[in-house]
Structure formats: C-alpha cells, structure tokens
Amino acid sequence: MAQKKQVIIGLLGTVVDAGSGATRWQRWRPTVAMCRHEELCVDRVELIAQKKFQRLAEQVTEDIRTVSPSTEVRQHEVEFNDPWDFQEVYSALLDFAKKYPFAPEREEYLIHITTGTHVAQICLFLLTEAHYFPAKLLQTSPPRGEDGRRSSEAGGYSIIDLDLSKYDKIASRFAVEQTESLSFLKSGIETRNAAFNKLIEQIERVAIHSKAPLLLMGPTGAGKSQLARRIFELKKFRRQVGGNFVEVNCATIRGDGAMSALFGHTKGAFTGAIGARAGLLRAADGGALFLDEVGELGVDEQAMLLRALEEKRFLPVGSDVEVRSDFQLIAGTNKDLSVEVEAGRFREDLFARINLWTFRLPALKERREDIEPNVAYELEQFARVNGNNVTFNKEARERFLAFAVSPGAEWRRNFRDLNAAINRMATLAGGGGGARITLGQVEEEILALAASWKTGGGSGGGGDGVLSRHLSAKAIEGLDRFDRVQLEEVLRVCEGARSLSDAGRELFAASRAKKKAPNDADRLRKYLARFGLSWSDLRPE
C-alpha cells in the first residue's frame, strides 16, 4: 500500500511569518520552519490568507520552496473583516472546510494552530474536534534559548491526536450544529414525542463519536432503514467515513447464496460460480454496512460476520487468501435477539458484539403526536417524487388527523401504512397545481385502512389476521405453509386463554395424558420462542 501524503493546513501568520531581505532568515517563522524538520516530511501546504496579505503569502511560499523543494504550496483566499470576531472567523473557516476536497484514504492532514489570532486557533481546534477537518493538530514552537524567535533554527513541533473524552468540557459542539444534526437524522421532521427526541439525541452523539456497531430494534416499518442511511450520511458529512452505504435485507439472502452474497466467492468456488464476486462486506469497506433483519442470518454467516467485525478480515467462499474490509456495522431487527439467543438461533458472542449501542425505535402508535408532522413530510415527499403539490382541504385534514391519533388507528405496519395512505389519497386527488384531498377521499381511506388491519392486509395472516397481529409481514412470508397453519391455531388458543399454563393444557390435552409429569407451559414457551414470540408479547397485560 502506497504511503499517504502529508498535508498541512494553516493560516498565514501576518506578524510571525513576516520579514524582509536576508534578515528574514535570521528569525524563526513558524510556517516556513514547519517544513524544515527532517523527520516531518511535508508533501503539501495549504496556506490560508486574506487578499491584503498576498505579497507576504507569496514570500512565504517562495521561502518554503527554498527550504523544502519537494513541498507543494497552494494558496487559499479567505476573508474576514475582524480576525477577532469569533462568529465571523468560525464561519469563514467552516466554509473552507466544507469546500475542501479531503481525501483521507490517500492523504493525512495536520492543522497548524500556531499562526493566526487566538480566536482563529480556537476555531481550528473546534472544527477539528467536530471532524469538519479530518485531521490531527500541529503545534510548532521556536528553538529553546534566551530569544529563540531570533534564531534561524527550525525549533520544535508536536502532533496532537485529539481524544474527545478529554475535551468534552472545553470544546462542546455548538448547540446550533447539534440541532442541525438531530434534524438531519429525523429527515427534517419536527417530531414532538419527547422519548423519541431523546432517543435521536443519543443516536446522534454515538454516531459521531463511535465506530462500534449500532443495533436498531423495532417493529417493521418503524423507520430503521431510513435512520441507518441518515446515520451514514451524517458521518460522511463529518468525513468520518469515505466509503459507501451498503444495505441488505438478510431475510432475502437466506440459504446457500447468503455466504457468497455477504463474503464473496472465487471463480469456480461452486457450481455456477463462473466469475469471482467481491461480496457486500468488501463493497462496504471504508463505509457502512446495514444488515436489516440481522436475526435472519444463518449460524454460519453469523460466525463469519463475527470474525469480520473483530479482525476486519474474512475468507471469501472457495478462497485460501483472506481479504480485508473495515466498515461500521449498523444492524436492524424486529426480533428480540436475546430470545433468539436463548432459542439457539442467534450466536451469543455475536449478539454481545453488536449489542454495545442498542436503540429501540418505537411503533407509530406509540408516538401519535408525531403523526401530524409526518403527514406533512409524506406530502412533501409525494410532491418531490411526482412533481404534484397536493394538500388537504380543512375538513379532510381535521378528519384524517382525528382518526390517525385515535385508539382505533392501529398503524400495524407503522410508517409503511401512513406512507401508503397518503400516497393513495394524494394520487386520487388528481394532477395539476393546487390539488386537494377531500373529506370523501379521507373517509374511503379510513375504511380501507380499517379493513386492512382487520384482515391482516393480505400478508398471509388468514381470516381474522391473528398472525399479522404478532408477526411482521416479512416474518409470515418466511414461514412454510405448514408452520403458518399450526402457529395460527396456537395463537388463537393463546389469545383466548387466561394463562400460559391454561393455553398449554388445551393445546397438549392428548399428549399430556400419556406423561407422568407434563410441563405444558414450558413446552408452549419453547414453541413460541421458535418464532421469536413470548407470552408477554401475546398478552402484555
């Protein structure tokens, strides 16, 4: 692997870097001196200066080339009227950081904090701490002695790799920046649920300060996929990741093809492998891998994933040579993985590895106060995709919101239900500017939603939708027909029983008569665990 280039970014020192004629070589000038250290190989200097100091910038550039001919110098013009105005200086340097084409996979960056006003130095520190500059800090100092600043020697330097835990009290992120990050994670939706907002605050802090795996739990349709992508985009904006966001639903790669899809294979590894395949883990190198429904992975894939997380290495199918991939894992599940571990379907060591940061996204019916702003968001998305701005008339909006927050609105598939409802009504409202959803359309949609929840929405739940009351549509689709019929009957009995023991006695009445010490409750508990269910799930009261 080629050695990364060393790049120093710093402000022109309008006083400390100044000097004229031969006498300038008789004094210590930090921007020139930093390029004179034999052990600090500087490939490029990004010199930031105001236009009025252009002549001095040219002189410093020429002197750097004299002491270090291999060092490239690029000048950047940045203006601020008052170099002691904190807001003005911070804004100007932030704009520079956002526009600069950082390439951390090829280059290493040092931020020179010796030059500039104290305000500028503080701003450089804060921008580095907040990862707008993906860099370490460089502090230079004059030679020791009675008057080191009059010396022509290079002096000293130190490189500071920020440990954020040491600077929490003196370099906290500005409140406005955190607010922007939180709003970004929520797709700009002004959510009102206090518990959800607190959850997003925790996720924001962890996303910025940790590279450890994140586990997003919650029912199907609660927004895990969208949040995972937003977490990645926030980290990419902060230049904490440089690779891609790779998303896969583990329920769709179950079986023989799962290992190849995740870890890749070599040519000829198995019948049909006519060419090599890199695999999803390698595609996520340097970025983030979102494994939705991670509980659906087979035990072999779980073992390989654990090694890839711990060692950043793994073997593609059919290969004797390990490959490397360094990615951040974001896992999603609608199952209780602790139950899956107890049932032997999920590895305990892998669960321990991905359970460091676990966040449970609530169902839509748990945050009904957020339905109104989400309705507005769904209409905005409809307009963006279809180019048709649709609104409710007053009566229709009041009726739909009253229904949406009522106890009768189950929102069984969470935001998928809400998205589908808004899209159906907006489409039927017609085209052209100023289209409006009417009261009649709302009433029809309410009837359609109620019917969908009563029947299970065609998800395979059968007559009264007993399966869909307890399992996601994806989970039901993954069941064999035999298991569906059997489980549906078990769930009906459980819903009508007073206790787990009562349900067990009814279900196993014939076989229990042949046993000396029947344990119907334990037998039923283990059966339910096969499908990620427990008695408390069926009868939460």
Answer yes or no: do 397 and 526 share one domain: no
Domain stops at, among 391, 423, 455? 455
Residues 6+ away with beta carbon under 8 Å from 69: none
pLDDT at residue 455, as a whole number: 64
Express each pLDDT in 105-154 by its tens digit: 899 999 999 999 999 999 999 999 888 999 999 999 998 876 656 677 88
Q: How many structural domains comprise the chain?
A: 4
pLDDT at residue 149, as a whole number: 65
Over range 162-189, report the average pLDDT.
62
Answer yes or no: do 196 and 264 share one domain: yes
Answer yes or no: do 444 and 498 share one domain: no
Answer yes or no: do 397 and 355 share one domain: no
Whichever domain contains 145, its CATH number is 3.40.50.10770
Dist CA 253 CA 151 (whole Å): 68
Tokens of 141: 């100092």
Tokens of 87: 């807001």
* Band of residue 394 on the pLDDT scale cut at 50, 70, 90: very high
Answer yes or no: do 501 and 406 share one domain: no
Whichever domain contains 340, its CATH number is 3.40.50.300
Answer yes or no: do 16 and 161 share one domain: yes
DSSP 3-state assignment of 289?
strand
- Maximum CA pair distance of the chain? 107
Over range 322-333, report the average pLDDT.
94
Q: Is residue 471 part of a domain?
A: no
Instruction: Provide the percentage of residues in the chain whose pLDDT is more than 90.
Output: 53
CA 490 to chain CA mean position, Å: 39
Express each pLDDT in 13-43 by its tens digit: 999 999 878 888 888 999 999 999 989 999 9
Domain stops at, among 333, 360, 387? 360
The residue among 169 and 462 whose pLDDT is bigger is 169
Dist CA 24 CA 534 (whole Å): 79
Burial class (CB in 10 A: 0-12, 13-18, 19+), 102: middle
Domain stops at, among 139, 166, 193? 166
Over range 428-450, report the average pLDDT.
86
DSSP state at residue 3: P
Q: Is residue 496 part of a domain?
A: yes
417: pLDDT strictly greater than 50: yes
Alpha-carbon distances, residue 538 vs 109, 151, 278, 530 (angstroms): 56, 80, 43, 14
Whichever domain contains 420, its CATH number is 1.10.8.60
Instruction: Provide the percentage of residues in the chain whose pLDDT is more than 70.
Output: 90
Q: Is residue 465 part of a domain?
A: no
Q: Give the mean pLDDT of the chain.
A: 86
Answer yes or no: do 182 and 308 share one domain: yes
419: pLDDT strictly greater than 80: yes
Dist CA 531 CA 105 (whole Å): 44
Express each pLDDT in 478-524 by its tens digit: 787 778 778 888 887 887 777 888 888 888 877 766 666 678 888 88
The answer to which of 77-91, 245-259, 291-305, 501-515 has the lowest mean pLDDT is: 501-515
Helices (H), 1-157: 30-33, 54-67, 86-99, 118-129
* Band of residue 458 on the pLDDT scale cut at 50, 70, 90: very low
- Report yes or no: 314 and 282 within 8 Å, Cβ to Cβ: no
pLDDT at residue 421, as a whole number: 93
Answer yes or no: do 306 and 340 share one domain: yes
Q: Is residue 212 part of a domain?
A: yes
Tokens of 380: 């905005």
Q: Is residue 326 part of a domain?
A: yes
pLDDT at residue 463, as a whole number: 35
Over range 388-402, report the average pLDDT.
93
Q: How large is the C-alpha radius of gyration of the chain?
A: 31
Dist CA 30 CA 155 (whole Å): 9
* Band of residue 408 on the pLDDT scale cut at 50, 70, 90: confident
Helix (H) or strand (E) holding 11: strand 5-11
Answer yes or no: do 225 and 347 share one domain: yes
Answer yes or no: do 15 and 160 share one domain: yes
Dist CA 341 CA 350 (whole Å): 10
Q: Is residue 472 part of a domain?
A: no
Residues 6+ away with beta carbon under 8 Å from 446: 399, 400, 403
Q: Is residue 265 part of a domain?
A: yes
Residues 6+ away with beta carbon under 8 Å from 443: 399
Answer yes or no: do 349 and 496 share one domain: no
Spell out where 78-179 has E strands.
Answer: 107-112, 136-141, 156-160
Express each pLDDT in 463-474 by its tens digit: 335 777 778 777
Q: What angle do CA 377, 382, 384 make, to 5 degrees?
A: 95
DSSP state at residue 142: P
Answer yes or no: do 79 and 151 share one domain: yes
Q: Is residue 77 part of a domain?
A: yes
250: pLDDT strictly greater than 80: yes
Range of the domain at 291: 175-360
- Report yes or no: 47 and 57 within 8 Å, Cβ to Cβ: yes
Dist CA 317 CA 275 (whole Å): 12
Helix orientation angle between 415-428 and 439-455, rounded to the nearest 10 degrees: 140
Express each pLDDT in 338-392 by its tens digit: 999 998 999 999 999 999 999 999 999 999 999 999 999 999 999 888 888 899 9
